Chains A and B, each alone.
Chain A
Amino acid sequence: MTTPLITTSRWGNKDGHTLDGYIKSGGYQALQRALGLTPKEVHEEVKKASLLGRGGAGFPAGVKWGFLPENVWPRYLVVNGDESEPGTYKDRILLERDPHQLIEGCLITCYALGLSQCFLYVRGEMAHGQERVAQALNEAYEAGYVGKNILDSEFSVDIVLHWGAGAYIVGEETALIESLEGNRGMPRLKPPYFPASIGLYGKPTIVNNVETLANIPWIVLNGGDAFAKIGAEQSTGTRIFAVSGHVNKPGVYEVEFGTTTFRDLIMGEEYGNGIRNGNELKAFIPGGASAPWFFEEHLDMPLEKTAVDQAGSMLGSGAIVVMDNTTDIVKACHNLVRFFARESCGKCAPCREGTSWLEKILQRIIDGNGRSQDLDLLLDICDNISPGISWPPKQTTICPLGPSAVSPISSAIKRYKEEFDKYLSKSKPNIPVQIKSGAG
């Protein structure tokens, strides 16, 4: 397969992260080209490309951009570089190895939409990424690519590097905005459903993922139509996937949407290269910790949004986590639920209380204190967080974090209930029953 490399073309270059290295490999030509077009024309190209957001929800960028209300200024661009979803590993490499590509994407976006300031939010733990971006910005400012009168045009915009400080929920776009305003990263209530109308400082704001924006220079340089020709009808272009877990060759791969299948990625020689130690596949997560699990029978499904959605999961953040037959499903399930419990922002009662309750029950089962009624209880708690336990999830919460904790539990119990039963059969629980004495 010869996949055109759109976002990862410089990863192999030693100097891909420097201004020189970037320019040598065709960098900042898209910006030049964009400045020759009108802002509207640039936006048109992105619309034509049908570029889906790469942050998880997969919403078309060009359409989202169109939600900006007219004549309300200033407007902002917020770059979501908070990458924290378990299994997800792509934005960090984009930041470290090709920061200028992202910067160029940001500049073009600001130009197209009249955004007057760009905040590049990089996850706190990514010290190296921050250094690379800071270095790149410093060079780009000096060379006149960022800041006042970019390339001697009337176009001026600042890109401000902003740091996170450790909180997964801040990846959710409204929480990201809260965090950028200096607040606790708690998601805002919807509506408005998109920050495009009321976002940062109450002003129109576009939030895009790092990978999404990294596609912009290519699109502007090669045209939206060329982009749309790559990949599948509904999922255009390429996508970066991180394949991790029990595979022979874990790695981060840019592949063409739609034409590639999960089997290619997990088993294909140039990608995951099969399950380690010749073991069998037990399950895999197709799109980050929040996604319901897939199994053997899903392997031949193409990497394409519509197909995966219909099968009851999502491509989400491009994270494929492979579990082989040695995996303790209950522990894996506990591991994922613990993640959501620890990362709940605490705003909604069902998420704050429910996820940690789920975690405690799973821990208790693992510790040999499970009770026969615990599986029903687990599912009922799940149902109270995400009524109906279906996909896409219904929710009693504000954001999808709480319901995400339901995915591993329902996936695991549905497919591997016997593993839970094995724990329960060995349990000798000794738990006093508490009576709600107080009320009344």
Chain B
Amino acid sequence: MSRLTEESLRTANDIIDRYPIKKSALIPLLHLAQEQDGWVTDEAMNHIAEIIGITPAEVLGTCSFYEMFKRQPNGEYQVNICHGISCHLLGADQLIHHAEETLGIHEGETTSDGIFSLEGVECIAACTEAPCMQINYRYQNQVSESQFDELVKQIRSEERSDIPKHGTLAKVRQNISAERIAGFDSIDESIAPVWLERNGEVE
């Protein structure tokens, strides 16, 4: 663990190939590392630095800018309760407070069994469903306190297979087959697209 596995590395290379500049793949690769280990380890950052040819400090610089990347071991389920303005108006603070009591931890902490990490987060674009939350980035709308407790129970008793472990974002990945890919021109070469040329729109 920790460095990218063979399989992750294959996915990583697929992703890298889609960008004219390798470094563009950095954020997707950090997600990949987080999917593999549940958090982003120093070893993974080092490995990513190696494969895209930048320094580990640069990887860390980017990684640490974005909230979703956890650089310490994280709970298997990241509970993000929205405290954006719309949810705030409809009781987000109480819901967070309730969550703290139910889980026995404060915002920003992980339960001792390593199952839940709790956070109050900024607006998650479900404002009309306030108060809302995400568990491992899966939405739960208009959450009441009892619903919250029910969710926690379901997860503890492993009844929520619809919610993958922390780190897995999209369960569906983009695949581009070799036959269908358009490919791209090097950024160093100024070549006008054929369809413009044919339309006489470039000299």
Least CB distance from A158 to B in Å reads 5
B89 engages A166 (CB within 8 Å) = no
A135 contacts the other chain (Cβ, under 8 Å)?
yes
Taking each of B19, B23, B177, which has the highest tally of chain A beta carbons within 10 Å of its own beta carbon? B19
With A89-B128, A182-B25 given, is the CB distance from A343 to B199 under 8 Å?
Answer: no
Q: How many A-B residue pairs have C-beta atoms within 8 angstroms? Tell me.
A: 243
A319 contacts the other chain (Cβ, under 8 Å)?
yes
B199 engages A158 (CB within 8 Å) = no
In the complex, A179→B180 CA distance in Å?
Answer: 27
B128 engages A123 (CB within 8 Å) = no
How many chain B residues sit at the interface, stated as a range, is 35 or more
Stretch of A45-53, A69-77, A299-307, A414-422 at the chain-chain interface: A69-77
With A40-B199, A114-B195, A141-B177 given, is the CB distance from A203 to B123 under 8 Å?
Answer: no
B201 engages A124 (CB within 8 Å) = no
- Interface residues of A, CB < 8 Å — how many? 87
Least CB distance from A138 to B in Å reads 6
In the complex, A238→B112 CA distance in Å?
Answer: 51
A323 contacts the other chain (Cβ, under 8 Å)?
yes
User: CB within 8 Å of B: which of A225-269?
Assistant: 242-246, 250-252
Stretch of A308-316, A334-342, A377-385 at the chain-chain interface: A334-342
Which residue in chain A gives the minimum CB-CB distance to B173? A134
> Using Cβ atoms and an 8 Å threshold, which residues of chain A touch B80?
125
In the complex, A179→B25 CA distance in Å?
Answer: 10
B51 contacts the other chain (Cβ, under 8 Å)?
no
B192 engages A73 (CB within 8 Å) = yes
In the complex, A262→B67 CA distance in Å?
Answer: 35
Which residue in chain B gives the minimum CB-CB distance to A130? B170
In the complex, A73→B202 CA distance in Å?
Answer: 11
Which residue in chain A gives the minimum CB-CB distance to B198? A154
With A73-B190, A125-B137 given, is the CB distance from A321 to B176 under 8 Å?
Answer: no
Among B28, B171, B183, point to the contact of A158 (Cβ < 8 A).
Answer: B183
Least CB distance from A265 to B in Å reads 12
Least CB distance from A241 to B in Å reads 10
A270 contacts the other chain (Cβ, under 8 Å)?
no
B66 engages A164 (CB within 8 Å) = yes
> Using Cβ atoms and an 8 Å threshold, which residues of chain A touch B9?
none
Among B25, B65, B129, B202, point to the contact of A167 (Cβ < 8 A).
Answer: B65
User: CB within 8 Å of A: which of B79-138?
Assistant: 80, 83-86, 88-90, 122-130, 134, 136-138
Stretch of A59-67, A78-86, A355-363, A427-435 at the chain-chain interface: A78-86
Which residue in chain A gives the minimum CB-CB distance to B85? A86
A165 engages B128 (CB within 8 Å) = no
Which residue in chain A gives the minimum CB-CB distance to B193? A114
Least CB distance from B52 to A in Å reads 8
A148 contacts the other chain (Cβ, under 8 Å)?
yes
B62 engages A71 (CB within 8 Å) = no
> Using Cβ atoms and an 8 Å threshold, which residues of chain A touch B125?
83-84, 88-89, 91-92, 123, 125-126
In the complex, A25→B202 CA distance in Å?
Answer: 36
Least CB distance from B202 to A in Å reads 6
With A74-B185, A83-B125, A342-B122 given, is the CB distance from A244 to B130 under 8 Å?
Answer: yes
With A179-B27, A250-B130 given, is the CB distance from A127 to B137 under 8 Å?
Answer: yes
With A74-B187, A179-B27 given, is the CB distance from A246 to B122 under 8 Å?
Answer: no
B18 engages A160 (CB within 8 Å) = yes
A158 engages B169 (CB within 8 Å) = no
Taking each of A125, A158, A179, A246, which has the highest tally of chain B beta carbons within 10 Å of its own beta carbon? A125
B170 engages A184 (CB within 8 Å) = no
In the complex, A250→B90 CA distance in Å?
Answer: 11
A180 contacts the other chain (Cβ, under 8 Å)?
yes
A294 contacts the other chain (Cβ, under 8 Å)?
no
In the complex, A201→B187 CA distance in Å?
Answer: 8
Given contacts A116-B185, A137-B174, A342-B122, 11 further A-B pairs with CB under 8 A are: A38-B201, A73-B189, A117-B182, A124-B137, A148-B183, A155-B195, A158-B18, A182-B23, A185-B66, A242-B127, A251-B128
For the complex of A and B, the 6 pairs showing the least CB-CB separation, nearest first, are A182-B26, A165-B66, A166-B67, A182-B23, A244-B127, A250-B128
A: which residues have CB within 8 A of B?
38-40, 70-74, 83-89, 91-92, 111, 114, 116-117, 123-128, 130-131, 133-135, 137-138, 141-142, 144, 146-148, 153-158, 160-168, 179-185, 201-203, 242-246, 250-252, 285, 289, 319, 321, 323, 327, 331-332, 335-336, 339, 342-343, 345
